[in-house]
Amino acid sequence: MSIPAVNLRGLTAVTPSRKDLNLSESPPRSRPRVIPIGRIALVVALIAAAVAITWRMTTPISVTLVRPEVREITESIAASGIVTGRREAQVGARIPGVVSELLVREGDRVAAGQLIARISNEVANAQVDQARQAVNTAHAQLRQTAVRPRRSELEAASARVRQAEAQLGEVLPQIERAELGVTQAESAVDQALANAERARANVRQVEARRDLAAKTAARYRTLHDEGAISAHSLDQVVAELTSAEADKAVAEQAVKVTDLAAESARAAVKAAGKEVDALRTRAVAANAALSAAQADFRTVEAGPRFEAVEAAREHTYDAEKGVEVAKTQARMSDVRAPFAGTVTDIETEIGVSVGPEGIVRLVEDVEPEIRLSVDENNLSELRAGQRAVITSSAFRNVTARGRVVRISSRVDSARGTVEVAVAPEGPTGWLRPGQTVNVNVVLSERSRKVVVPASAIRQEAGRSVVLKVVDGSAVPHQVDTGPARDGVIPVLRGLNENELIILKAENVKTGARVRAGK
């Protein structure tokens, strides 16, 4: 069966809606998310930095390579030192005393033996006076010994003997009486102690009675409160307690009285003992005076003897020597310079007590000396007699020569240094004690050494290193060096003249990629 043709002309095409097609509407589209411009810039900057770092890490640094040179150089050790004298001293007083005069100032130059200060010493002056008095006495004794005795002298000597005998006879009975007093005082002490002990025993008995009365009174009060006893019985017990307490007070007072008596007796014993000692001292003195008077009488009676005259002369001579010794001791109060030099410190002032510890500090600057503290690692290269060059930043146009005169046998363990003494040669008027100077100790006058520019050496962990290029990287290589001079540093060990090293080592990090520049 055929389908009839349909005329479509004049018809309008209609598009069906979602509703007509029974389709649900899709949700509305959301707005596009906006990223802040600042954040985008930060991301771009981080990416750029990462690219730059990567480029720098992968791109070799251009460096200049140099070869060490071999030069003839003068090897030396440089150190700073202090100008001192070959001799230094704390000049003090030989005897203790008070500074009465101070005749120098800091910076003064003094000659050997020059008077620096005077010390006031009353003891030394008194000793001089005593020695002079001893001389006068010795001369008087010599004159007395050398002449024949007169009758009046014999009578006077005899009178002195009788007087000494009388004094001794007077003091001996006094000693006996004093010793008896000591014995009596000691007996009084014993009696007082016994009385004190009896008084204490009585106190203990009274205390026991009082304690018993107190317990009885307490028990009777309870019985009275319970109605078991009468008030009269309680009053009797209380009266007994009161009496016991009164007896205790009396007994304690008796103890105090006996203690005071014992103490007084002890004081009496002590006083009596002192009196005996004093009298015995008087007896000894009286006996000595008697012996001296008797000897004097015998001497006067016998007249001058050759031996006595000679002894008196000897005694006079000894006394005169004593005066000289005392004067010498007194002159020790004059403080003088033991050597020529410069006063670097005044350590006291007038009116201050001093002793041998020091009044001034003196440095011998006629032949100055420079003391250096040199690293102990250089000890094997140092020798006495080595030449030295001395300079000072205070006197830039002055240079002095010197020689090593002494190397200390001791190393300062705390600092790791050894002291080296250098003696300047030639004019040294510009050197001052205490001045800091620079010293180069010459180890060898002319020797061939490998040298590199100072910029090629750097320090890593306390070591001197140069940088070599190994497989395109900067690799440190340890070397032993000497002191720098004229912009170059001598390499003692670890490098030869055929090796290439980086010129400016401080500008290159260890391990950095490098390439040789033009």
Phi, psi of 88 (to 5 degrees): -135, 145
In single-letter form, the type of residue at position 404 comes to V
Each as own residue / partner, the long-range contacts of residues 280-289 (CB below 8 Å, 24 or more positions apart, any chain) are 280/175, 282/171, 283/168, 283/171, 283/172, 283/175, 286/164, 286/167, 286/168, 286/171, 287/168, 289/164, 289/167, 289/168
Nearest partner of 440 among 494, 385, 390, 502, judged by Cα: 390
Nearest partner of 79 among 378, 364, 367, 368, judged by Cα: 378
Rounded CA-CA distance 423/364 in Å is 13
pLDDT in tens, the chain (518 residues): 333 333 333 333 334 444 443 444 445 554 555 556 767 777 777 776 765 565 455 578 888 889 998 888 777 788 889 888 778 788 877 777 788 888 888 888 888 888 888 887 666 667 667 777 777 787 777 666 666 666 777 778 788 888 888 888 887 888 888 888 888 878 888 887 888 888 888 888 888 888 888 888 888 888 888 888 888 888 888 888 888 888 888 888 888 888 888 888 788 878 878 888 888 887 888 888 888 888 877 776 666 555 566 676 777 777 777 777 766 666 667 888 888 888 888 888 888 877 777 788 888 777 788 999 998 888 888 989 989 999 888 887 888 899 999 999 899 999 999 999 999 987 777 888 888 999 989 887 777 888 999 899 999 888 899 999 898 888 999 998 877 777 888 898 889 888 889 988 888 888 889 888 76
Phi, psi of 70 (to 5 degrees): -110, 120
Each as own residue / partner, the long-range contacts of residues 391-398 (CB below 8 Å, 24 or more positions apart, any chain) are 391/437, 391/438, 391/439, 392/430, 392/435, 392/436, 392/437, 392/438, 393/438, 394/435, 395/430, 398/430
The token pair at 405 is 């005169």
Rounded CA-CA distance 474/482 in Å is 23
In single-letter form, the type of residue at position 348 comes to T
Phi, psi of 269 (to 5 degrees): -65, -45
CB 113 within 8 A of CB 298: no
Q: Using the Cα atoms of residue 312, residue 313, residue 316 and residue 318 in order, give the sign of their dihedral.
A: negative
Rounded CA-CA distance 353/119 in Å is 9
pLDDT at 362: 84
pLDDT at 24: 44
DSSP assigned state of 507: G
> Any residues with CB less than 8 A from the CB of 156 and at least 6 apart, and which?
none
Buried b (16+ CB within 10 A) or exposed e, 147-180: eebeeebeeebbebbeebeebbeebeeebeebbe
The token pair at 234 is 């309680």
What angle, rounded to 10 degrees, do the helices at 231-302 and 151-225 form?
170
pLDDT at 476: 93
Rounded CA-CA distance 321/329 in Å is 12
Rounded CA-CA distance 108/192 in Å is 78
Rounded CA-CA distance 494/498 in Å is 12
Rounded CA-CA distance 339/363 in Å is 9
Q: H-helix or E-strand containing 298?
A: helix 231-302
State CA 279 to chain mean position distance: 53
Rounded CA-CA distance 125/154 in Å is 39
Rounded CA-CA distance 517/151 in Å is 130
DSSP assigned state of 455: G
State CA 158 to chain mean position distance: 68
pLDDT at 405: 92
pLDDT at 309: 63
What angle, rounded to 10 degrees, do the helices at 306-331 and 122-146 form?
160
Tokens 């006291």: give the residue: 348
DSSP assigned state of 489: E
